[in-house]
Amino acid sequence: MPLSVQDKVAGLVVARLGTNMIPPRTAEADAPDIAALLDRYPLGGLILFNGRWPETRQTLLDLQSHSDQGLLVMSDLERGLGQQMAGASLFPHLGAFGALGGEASSAVREFARITAE
């Protein structure tokens, strides 16, 4: 069945899950509200802030079950997963990699590998 205009527009929307802004809310605290939103509208994705490792992994899996289309999950991770997820690896600012000179390439590859895992 073709998607309605409302569903097509909803698919372009990304909802915030958690926040570090005042007052901070963890991803887990936001999850019930986001689940209710997903039950009502077929949103396209989530942007993650203030998660907790490993709890947020299960939270994201649970929220995926509320979406018929699947959710694109994104986050602000230029310092690694630990920037948005307590308990995960946090790396120095990217300028530190540039200061490594010739060793920067291998360090950046390792940073990317750890973040992806």
Domain that holds residue 92: 78-117
Task: Indicate if 6 and 52 belong to the same structural domain.
Answer: yes
CB 84 within 8 A of CB 75: yes
Tell whether 7 and 63 lie within a shared domain. yes
**pLDDT at residue 115 greater than cutoff 90:** no
Statement to judge: residues 30 and 60 lie in one domain: yes
Strands 45-48 and 72-75: parallel
Confidence of residue 14 (pLDDT cuts 50, 70, 90): very high
- DSSP code, position 65: T
CA distances (Å), 64 to each of 38, 43, 82, in order?
Answer: 9, 11, 22
Do 8 and 58 lie in one domain? The reply is yes
Mean pLDDT of 62-80: 95
Same domain, 59 and 83: no
Pair 21, 60 in one domain: yes
Domain count, the chain: 2
Give pLDDT, residue 48: 98
Are the C-beta atoms of 109 and 80 separated by less than 8 Å? no
Q: Looking at the structure, do residues 33 and 67 belong to the same domain, yes or no?
A: yes
CB 43, CB 10: distance < 8 Å: yes
Same domain for 65 and 21: yes
Return the closest-CA partner of residue 48 out of 21, 19, 11.
Answer: 19
76 contacts: CB under 8 Å, gap ≥ 6: 47, 49, 83, 84
64 and 82 fall within a common domain: no
Q: In this structure, are residues 88 and 56 in contact, taking their beta carbons and an 8 Å threshold?
A: no
> Are 87 and 117 within one domain?
yes
Q: pTM score, two decimals? A: 0.86
